[in-house]
Amino acid sequence: MAVFKIIVTGSFNSGKTEFIKQISDINPITTDKPVTEKELKDIKTMTTVAMDFGRLTIDKELVLHLYATPGQERFNFIYPILIQNAIALIILGDVTDKNSIKDIIKYYRSFDKLKKLPTVIALTKTDLPNRLPDYEVDKILEEVPSYIPIVRINATDKENVKNTVLFALEQLEEDQVV
Ligand SMILES: Nc1nc2c(ncn2[C@@H]2O[C@H](COP(=O)(O)OP(=O)(O)OP(=O)(O)O)[C@@H](O)[C@H]2O)c(=O)[nH]1
Ligand SMILES: [Mg+2]
């Protein structure tokens, strides 16, 4: 049986923990602690400080281990540890938050420097009424290399999340063919 490791990253509040919770077939391991920064506390009360871990059994032959990073920059030290043996990267960006979309390219570059991985960008919260207009999001994402696929999802929807993970696996297969 093969075990593949996938990394999920993205800004504070972009939906990483939610993503892992939706996909995992075991109780996910999370490391959420109360938010200490005053300006972030208004957005949400809990934040991931080390990682989230979930497992998805595809079939008898293949199990995926999903690790999500913390969203705050002061926890960046975990990236080189998490990326070891990873086979794909999923970067989340929250379409209700301009800065979260701007951060996508930053995450891409940080991880690309550590290791080149097949990557998928998943824009979250596309179900919310306060989402930015598509043209605004697309404009910010112009900097992203055109070979990186972008999908729009609701991270609270299990099927959406599963399809994103399967899509990331497809990227891997395509890369191997080349
Ligand atoms: N409606 C909706 N809510 C979402 C979506 N994605 C995330 N959320 C909600 O947004 C909030 C923040 O999500 P988290 O999963 O905690 O975000 P995170 O990226 O893990 O945040 P940090 O660990 O603090 O960086 C939670 O209440 C989620 O349920 C989405 O696509 N749609
Ligand atoms: Mg989290």
CA of 13 to the centre of ligand 1 (A): 5
Side by side, which strands form the sheet with 52-59?
52-59, 62-68, 2-10, 86-94, 119-124, 150-152
Name residue, tokens 């930053």: 106
CA of 174 to the centre of ligand 2 (A): 30
Mean pLDDT value across residues 144-164: 96
| Backbone CA torsion sign across 82, 87, 93, 99 | positive
CATH code for the domain defined by 2-177: 3.40.50.300
Q: Would you say residue 154 has pLDDT above 70?
A: yes
Q: Would you say residue 176 has pLDDT above 70?
A: no
Question: pTM to 2 decimals?
Answer: 0.95
| pLDDT tens sequence across 96-137 | 999 999 999 999 999 999 999 999 999 999 999 999 999 999
Question: Is residue 9 within 8 Å of residue 82, measured between CB atoms?
Answer: no
Helix (H) or strand (E) holding 169: helix 158-177
Q: Where are the domains of the chain?
A: 2-177
Pocket test for ligand 1, best of 8, 11, 12, 18 (most atoms within 8 A of CB): 18
Q: Which atom of ligand 1 is nearest to the CA of 47?
A: 24
CB of 97 closer than 6 A to ligand 1?
A: no
In whole numbers, what is the pLDDT of the chain averaged over residues? 93
Helix (H) or strand (E) holding 31: none
Nearest CA to ligand 1 atom 14: 15
DSSP assignment of 86-112 equals EEEEEEEEETT-HHHHHHHHHHHHHHH
Q: Which atom of ligand 1 is nearest to the CA of 71?
A: 25
Mean pLDDT value across residues 85-90: 96
